Chains A and B, each alone.
Chain A
Amino acid sequence: MRVLVCVKRVPQTGGRIVLTADGQAIDTKFLGFTISPHEECGVEEAVRIIEAQGGESVVLTLGAAAAEEQLRDAMALGVDRAVLLETDGSEWDPVSTAAVIADTIRAQEAAGGPFDLVIFGNESADSGGFQVGIRVAVALGRPVVNGLKGLTLGSGSITARREAAGGGWETYELPTPAIVGVKEGLNLPRYPSVPGRLRAKKKEVERITIGASGSGPAAVSGAPTGPMKSMLRLPQEAESQVEILGRGAEAAPAVVDLLQKIGVVAR
């Protein structure tokens, strides 16, 4: 069994987002980095599948050299090795990203055999394009379904479930090799152990330099890429004036007065 999981390094924003002066990016001077919770569940699933069935798990990212941190994090949880498609740190649009990832999958498979399963997040945390996994699947001609919160591997097939729009669940069957987009809730990811972190330091990161966006295969073929970001802005939020109802348990009567006033508790 071979499983590939794709993750994207994003800033860990806290209570509020601060942009750089040119409006091109989030100011990350004081921020740490992470991956989407959806992708964390993807990493955990890849590790569990290989623990149960044997084989190899691989984590892949397209990003700046610093994205090695997120690859090591995934390897600390048990992923066997990593591929870093190293950019110059500029932003890559989803069309170009998918084209390069699809090419890389072809090359990895030519060298090491087919991936039974390629796992993406349902959407990236920062850009939220909802498309890279599907574009890769279309490029490779593989079955794909997004939004999964349950995966069961059979022999040669996968049973998957996702939440239905009106409540409840819908199930899908996919023949392997397949591609899936997963959501947080798929599983409960483990925390890294100290031995896991030490082992991760020794694991292999294969670096492939790809440079600036627009240097990828889509640009070469002349197909349209994008959307092309021109500027980031913070949405205008209505400022609310907070009314302090009191401190500690003594505030209880004031709270219940409020609950009665707004009709949540009967008078």
Chain B
Amino acid sequence: MSGPILVLVELGSGDGAGTADRVSLETLAFARSLADGLGGAPVEALLVGSDASGAAAALGAHGVTTGHVVTDAAIAGAYAPAAWGAALAELAGARGAVAIIGPGTDRGAEVLAHAAARLGAPLAANVLSATPGDSWSVTRQRWAGSLLEDATLDASVRCLTMAPHAVAVDERAGSPAAAVASFAPAIAPADLLVRVTGHEPPSKGSISLTDAKVVVGGGRGVGSAAAFSELEELAELLGAAIGVSRVVTSNGWRPHTQQVGQTGQRIAPDLYIACGISGAIQHIVGCKSAKRILAINTDAESPIMALADYAVIGDLHQVVPAVSAEIRRRAG
């Protein structure tokens, strides 16, 4: 039988604190299907956190045989990318892992890069599928998912991160709990130099762009910072968040935190109202998970029309205020 597949499992934050986060569970589902292709290789997990043992045991339902937990406060007390990467690399060696897989999150990508660099192994980021063999064939995302790459990974330990939301969580009730093994890696002081030293809470009150059910989007067609008042009025009536294109943030009309796309936020609202946005692929990758898209654009040929479900052809400065007025009129 082959050595185990080792998965880095991140713990959630906020309401999800103390349990594995969603993208990590997706990564375990992917690892489980890969393990089948490797003749039933075990799936093992690494969790770093002073109270990670409960979360580790619960991973049995996600196919994990053993959850290795690092609880030492020096390493687990605060996120430290190099130390976590070193721990992952050391564990992979000790267990004879054939692959190391992490979630394609900020931390997952960072820790895997550290581990791969230490192991002198290649790393494929944002993988969608993999076929084991002498060298592994993988399909991975480029351009934030608007292009796919088929590639090979040639190394004794294959390092990958899993593209978020590419596979569904595979939780099987009634599975035995994972064995919990405590792991004390040898971490050099230099690897603990960089660690989280402080937190700032999210600013209160505003609707989070990534959680909003409705997003009113504005692009170059809005024309100025001041003209965003028209979109804000509609957003207010709909309880929506404002999202924008890169042209808008580059012009300083709105803050970058509101940018949707490859180098901004990924959103998945029930409705995205794209006003004066052409639909460049780098914008589309950020909003294509919206259930419905309504485009308001003067140009019936603009690329956004290929993705939109509904459209109004016209000047947003006339359409948007008219829609707001109609909502108010019907509300009485």
A interface residues (Cβ-Cβ under 8 A, vs B): 13-17, 26, 36-38, 93-95, 98, 123, 125-131, 134-135, 138-139, 141, 143-147, 149, 161-175, 183-185, 188-189, 223-235, 237, 239-256, 258-260, 262, 264-266
For A239, give the chain B residue with the smallest CB separation.
B306
Can you list 24 pairs linking A and B with CB atoms under 8 Å apart?
A14-B280, A17-B143, A17-B147, A37-B263, A139-B117, A141-B190, A147-B110, A167-B208, A168-B202, A173-B194, A173-B197, A184-B249, A224-B121, A225-B122, A226-B124, A228-B153, A233-B147, A234-B146, A242-B306, A242-B308, A250-B322, A251-B312, A262-B292, A264-B214
Interface string of B240-278 (1 = CB under 8 A from A): 000000100110100111010011100000110000001
Q: Which residues of A contact B310 (CB under 8 A)?
A: 242-245, 258
B13 smallest CB distance to A (angstroms):
3
Give the interface size bracket for B toward A.
35 or more
Q: How far apart sit A37 and B307, CA to CA, in the bound complex (Å)?
A: 24
Interface pairs A-B: 10 shortest CB-CB: A15-B303, A166-B13, A185-B256, A167-B202, A226-B122, A248-B314, A249-B322, A252-B322, A138-B117, A227-B151
Query: CB < 8 Å: which of B105, B154, B198, B327 contacts A226?
Result: B154
Please state if A249 and B121 are interface contacts (CB–CB under 8 Å).
no
Which residues of B from 298 to 332 have beta carbons under 8 Å from A?
300, 302-303, 305-315, 318-319, 321-323, 325-327, 330-331
**Most central of A26, A134, A184, A185 by chain B CB within 10 Å:** A134
Q: How far apart sit A261 and B193, CA to CA, in the bound complex (Å)?
A: 55
Which residues of B from 146 to 178 have beta carbons under 8 Å from A?
146-155, 161
Please state if B138 and A130 are interface contacts (CB–CB under 8 Å).
no
| Contact flag A249-B194 (CB < 8 Å), given A230-B151, A231-B150 | no
Q: Which residues of B contact A249 (CB under 8 A)?
A: 314, 318-319, 321-322
Please state if A255 and B318 are interface contacts (CB–CB under 8 Å).
no
B200 smallest CB distance to A (angstroms):
4
Q: Which residues of B contact A172 (CB under 8 A)?
A: 194-197
Q: How far apart sit A232 and B138, CA to CA, in the bound complex (Å)?
A: 12
Please state if A258 and B294 are interface contacts (CB–CB under 8 Å).
yes
B36 contacts partner chain A, Cβ-Cβ < 8 Å: no
B166 smallest CB distance to A (angstroms):
11
| Contact flag A146-B151 (CB < 8 Å), given A168-B200, A242-B310 | no
Q: How far apart sit A124 and B109, CA to CA, in the bound complex (Å)?
A: 13
Please state if B313 and A240 are interface contacts (CB–CB under 8 Å).
no
Please state if A165 and B146 are interface contacts (CB–CB under 8 Å).
no
For B125, give the chain A residue with the smallest CB separation.
A130
Please state if A128 and B113 are interface contacts (CB–CB under 8 Å).
no
Please state if A224 and B155 are interface contacts (CB–CB under 8 Å).
yes
Which residues of B from 207 to 265 have beta carbons under 8 Å from A?
208, 213-214, 237-238, 246, 249-250, 252, 255-257, 259, 262-264
Please state if B279 and A15 are interface contacts (CB–CB under 8 Å).
yes
Please state if B140 and A227 are interface contacts (CB–CB under 8 Å).
yes
Query: CB < 8 Å: which of A147, A239, A245 contacts B106?
Result: A147
Q: How far apart sit A145 and B293, CA to CA, in the bound complex (Å)?
A: 36
Query: CB < 8 Å: which of B10, B116, B147, B307 contacts A235?
Result: B147
B79 contacts partner chain A, Cβ-Cβ < 8 Å: yes
Q: Which residues of B contact A126 (CB under 8 A)?
A: 142-143
What is the count of residue pairs linking A and B with beta-carbon distances less than 8 angstroms? 291
Please state if B307 and A240 are interface contacts (CB–CB under 8 Å).
yes
Please state if A243 and B125 are interface contacts (CB–CB under 8 Å).
no
Query: CB < 8 Å: which of B121, B194, B323 contacts A145?
Result: B194
| Contact flag A227-B281 (CB < 8 Å), given A248-B319, A252-B325 | no
Q: Which residues of A contact B257 (CB under 8 A)?
A: 185
B14 contacts partner chain A, Cβ-Cβ < 8 Å: yes
| Contact flag A235-B155 (CB < 8 Å), given A141-B190, A225-B122 | no
For B121, give the chain A residue with the smallest CB separation.
A224
Query: CB < 8 Å: which of A162, A254, A256, A262 contacts B330?
Result: A256
Query: CB < 8 Å: which of B199, B201, B311 contacts A171?
Result: B199
For B145, give the chain A residue with the smallest CB separation.
A235
Q: How far apart sit A170 and B194, CA to CA, in the bound complex (Å)?
A: 12
B68 contacts partner chain A, Cβ-Cβ < 8 Å: no
Q: Which residues of A contact B264 (CB under 8 A)?
A: 184
Q: How far apart sit A168 and B101, CA to CA, in the bound complex (Å)?
A: 27
Q: Which residues of B contact A37 (CB under 8 A)?
A: 246, 263
B88 contacts partner chain A, Cβ-Cβ < 8 Å: no
**Most central of B143, B249, B309 by chain A CB within 10 Å:** B143
Query: CB < 8 Å: which of A145, A149, A250 contacts B81?
Result: A145
Q: How far apart sit A126 and B148, CA to CA, in the bound complex (Å)?
A: 11
Q: Which residues of A contact B121 (CB under 8 A)?
A: 224
Please state if A247 and B79 are interface contacts (CB–CB under 8 Å).
no
B21 contacts partner chain A, Cβ-Cβ < 8 Å: yes
Please state if A252 and B305 are interface contacts (CB–CB under 8 Å).
no
Q: Which residues of B contact A226 (CB under 8 A)?
A: 122, 124, 151-155
Query: CB < 8 Å: which of B147, B196, B256 contacts A170?
Result: B196
Please state if A17 and B281 are interface contacts (CB–CB under 8 Å).
yes
Q: How far apart sit A165 and B10, CA to CA, in the bound complex (Å)?
A: 11
For B198, give the chain A residue with the smallest CB separation.
A171
Q: How far apart sit A138 and B10, CA to CA, in the bound complex (Å)?
A: 22
